[in-house]
């Protein structure tokens, strides 16, 4: 008698409102994404995304970074908390802390991050304003495997939007955010299915190393 393969489990780490978290919740509830959201963890007890998790009956945890003098101590506590849930995948969804090797090495190859730029352009902060000031025609977001190099892990998928003549950083950010909700769940689905793996410092899709990330452009754009 065959048994159904257990669903891949995931932990989502947030620091703020959790709109990407909501995209994951919506797609798991609808059945579009076969992922078991085990826990949502935040470094801020008042993060609005925690309430999204509670409404979806997902367990929540909080580890305040201000309680730790050293980054490595904070990361060790994160690992300790997450070990209770044994997640197969870590989803960084607006988690505004730089993670040290203490965390990265424990979950190597299982950590997804999303960054609001077309990496390798504009790592770090203020990406939307920097893209506007540089006169870019296109901007967007990138899902990548998280490594010890900030915003430097292997890229998986990018979503692009045009930079409009009258764009502000705020208006551009809103359009990029809509794309993020599409590409992040796609990347997680690929990892959950086993089609996407991290090996030898690279992202591999269907047994082939990814020299370039997948590309997504919103319909009509």
Using CA atoms, how far apart are residues 10 and 86, in angstroms rounded to an integer? Answer: 9
> Of the listed 115, 128, 139, 144, which one is catalytic?
115
- What would the mean pLDDT of 132-161 be, rounded to a whole number? 97
Q: Which CATH class is domain 8-216?
A: alpha beta
Q: What is the pLDDT of residue 6?
A: 61
Taking the C-alpha atoms of residue 33 and residue 189, their distance in angstroms, rounded to an integer, is 6
* Residue 220 pLDDT grade (very low, low, confident, very high; cuts 50, 70, 90): low
Can you say how many angstroms the Cα of residue 138 is from the centroid of all Cα atoms in its chain? 21
3: confidence class by pLDDT, cuts 50, 70, 90: very low
- Per DSSP, what are the bridge partners of residue 12? 40, 91
115 has catalytic annotation:
yes
Is the bond leading into 120 cis (omega within 30 degrees of zero)?
A: yes
Question: What residue has token string 């730790």?
Answer: 68
For the chain, where are the E strands, in sequence order?
8-14, 35-42, 59-62, 89-92, 111-115, 138-145, 155-162, 196-199, 202-205, 208-209, 214-216
Q: What is the pLDDT of residues 80-134, one digit of tens each?
A: 999 999 999 999 999 999 999 999 999 999 999 999 999 999 999 999 999 999 9
pLDDT, residue 209, reads 97
Q: pLDDT band at 1, cuts 50/70/90?
A: very low
């Amino acid at each position: 008698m065959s048994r159904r393969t257990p669903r891949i489990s995931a932990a989502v780490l947030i620091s703020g409102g959790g709109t990407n978290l909501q995209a994951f919740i919506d797609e798991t509830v609808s059945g579009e994404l076969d992922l078991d959201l085990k826990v949502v963890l935040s470094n801020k007890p008042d993060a609005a995304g925690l309430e999204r998790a509670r409404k979806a009956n997902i367990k929540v945890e909080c580890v305040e970074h201000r309680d730790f003098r050293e980054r490595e101590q904070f990361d060790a506590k994160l690992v300790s908390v997450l070990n209770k849930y044994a997640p197969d995948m870590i989803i960084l969804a607006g988690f505004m802390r730089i993670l040290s090797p203490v965390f990265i090495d424990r979950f190597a190859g299982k950590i997804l991050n999303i960054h609001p730029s077309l990496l390798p352009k504009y790592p770090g902060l203020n990406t939307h304003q920097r893209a506007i000031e540089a006169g870019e025609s296109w901007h967007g977001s990138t899902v990548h495997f998280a490594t010890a190099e900030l915003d430097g892990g292997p890229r998986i998928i990018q979503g692009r939007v045009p930079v409009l003549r009258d764009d502000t950083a705020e208006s551009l950010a809103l359009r990029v955010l809509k794309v993020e909700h599409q590409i992040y769940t796609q990347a997680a689905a690929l990892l959950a299915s086993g089609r996407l793996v991290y090996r030898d410092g690279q992202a591999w899709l269907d047994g082939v190393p990814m020299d370039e990330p997948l590309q997504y452009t919103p319909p009509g754009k």
